[in-house]
């Protein structure tokens, strides 16, 4: 068969070609490029109290230093922004690692389960995704309620063991928030892991066993290194959305779990300082650029299962 790079359906006269390419291109520019450039523009504009800003092209004011230096000073001196950025990184990292520890063995067992069972097993991992994430996060709120059966029975057990002497309080702590984030993002970890693990040639395991490796050794010296791309893709897929997570910290977190997404929203809606909110958003973009580049490199591990 002759393989041609150019498909015959694609119009090749330049008018048709550019109409086909141009339509989505214009959409992407209007919906993404322009808003992002504007975001940057607002972040270096003068703030007007009560919401709004003075556009730089109208007034000529260049407020780059005025808007970014408070954030930088805050970050250097240890204020709210710094703790919000740091706790975002901290909780996103913890969530990614937690998902890896729970998800890796799971994906491994799933990849080694009977072949005809695997689609069903995978489907039941994906199923919760179709049920509203908001509803599932809300469900955890019921689960962790102070008077709920989980907390009361745990409290009872721990008190009788003498570990604690006052009733447990889980809701609105970093624990319940981490639980919620791992709960929501676990499938994002399992999918790329399963995708790489299920494609692994079983002969590698047989070879390792033939050469005298114990199953544990085979797992850590053969399986884990070979699934590196899945691990990295999974970590990034969990880490990136967690950085800007807004809903879960609001519903399950407490006063000690202030994350940058919340600070940004407050700057816009409560303080009504648009330029500051934009500058914080630019900060978030800078934080996710590196993980995004890493993810792009290992994307081939993720694209397969969907």
Q: Looking at residues 128 to 167 of the shown chain, list those that interact with other proteins (rule: CB under 8 A).
A: 128-136, 138-143, 145, 147-149
Among 64, 68, 90, 106, binds other proteins (CB under 8 A): 106
Q: Least distance from C-beta 29 to other proteins, angstroms? A: 7
Per DSSP, the three-state class of 47 is strand
Q: Least distance from C-beta 162 to other proteins, angstroms? A: 26
Question: Please, are residues 281 and 244 in contact by the beta-carbon 8 Å criterion?
Answer: no
For other proteins, the closer CB: 168 or 243: 243
Listed ranges 24-32, 64-72, 154-162, 192-200: which one lies at the site for other proteins (CB under 8 A): 24-32
For other proteins, the closer CB: 230 or 261: 261
Q: In whole angstroms, give the CA distance from residue 75 to residue 80.
A: 8
For other proteins, the closer CB: 31 or 224: 31
Q: In whole angstroms, give the CA distance from residue 96 to residue 243.
A: 11
For other proteins, the closer CB: 187 or 192: 187
Cα angle value 167/143/96 (rounded, 5°): 100
200 binds other proteins (CB under 8 A): no
214 binds other proteins (CB under 8 A): no
CA distances from 15 to 4, 24, 30 (A): 22, 15, 21
Per DSSP, the three-state class of 306 is coil
- Which has the closest alpha carbon to 187: 152, 136, 237? 237
Q: How many residues of this chain bind other proteins (CB under 8 A)?
A: 89
Q: Tally the C-alpha atoms within 13 A of residue 81's C-alpha that lie toward its C-beta.
A: 19
Q: Calculate the CA dihedral of residues 285, 136, 188, 202 and round it to 10 degrees.
A: 170
For other proteins, the closer CB: 64 or 106: 106
Q: In whole angstroms, give the CA distance from residue 253 to residue 174.
A: 6
Residues in 32-71 at the binding interface with other proteins, rule: CB under 8 A: 32-36, 38-39, 42, 52, 55
Among 69, 80, 292, 297, binds other proteins (CB under 8 A): 292
276 binds other proteins (CB under 8 A): no
Contact letters for other proteins, residues 215-254 (x by CB under 8 A):
x------------------------xx-xxxxx--xx---
- Which has the closest alpha carbon to 68: 286, 224, 266, 219? 286
The two three-digit tokens of residue 71, written as one number:
């954030």
Among 75, 102, 258, 271, binds other proteins (CB under 8 A): 102
189 binds other proteins (CB under 8 A): no
């Amino acid at each position: 068969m002759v393989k041609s790079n150019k498909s015959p359906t694609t119009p090749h006269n330049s008018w048709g070609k550019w109409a086909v390419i141009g339509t989505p291109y214009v959409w992407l520019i209007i919906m993404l490029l322009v808003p992002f450039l504007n975001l940057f523009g607002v972040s270096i504009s003068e703030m007007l109290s009560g919401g709004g800003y003075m556009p730089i092209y109208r007034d000529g004011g260049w407020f780059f230093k005025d808007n970014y230096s408070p954030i930088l000073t805050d970050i250097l001196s240890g204020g709210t922004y710094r703790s919000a950025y740091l706790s975002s990184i901290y909780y996103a990292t913890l969530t990614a690692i937690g998902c890896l520890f729970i998800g890796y063995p799971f994906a491994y067992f799933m990849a080694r389960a009977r072949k005809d069972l695997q689609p069903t097993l995978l489907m039941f991992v994906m199923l919760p995704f179709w049920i509203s994430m908001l509803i599932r996060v809300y469900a955890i709120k019921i689960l962790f309620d102070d008077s709920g059966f989980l907390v009361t029975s745990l409290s009872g057990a721990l008190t009788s063991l003498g570990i604690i002497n006052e009733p447990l309080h889980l809701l609105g702590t970093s624990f319940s928030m981490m639980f919620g984030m791992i709960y929501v993002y676990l499938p994002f970890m399992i999918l790329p892991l399963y995708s790489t693990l299920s494609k692994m040639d079983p002969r590698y395991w047989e070879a390792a066993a033939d050469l005298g490796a114990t199953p544990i050794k085979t797992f850590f010296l053969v399986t884990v290194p070979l699934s590196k791309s899945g691990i990295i893709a999974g970590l990034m897929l969990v880490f990136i959305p967690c950085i800007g997570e807004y809903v879960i910290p609001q519903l399950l977190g407490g006063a000690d779990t202030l994350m940058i997404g919340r600070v940004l929203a407050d700057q816009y809606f409560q303080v009504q300082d648009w330029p500051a909110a934009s500058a914080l958003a630019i900060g978030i973009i800078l934080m996710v650029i590196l993980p995004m580049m890493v993810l792009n490199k290992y994307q081939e591990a993720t694209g397969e299962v969907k």
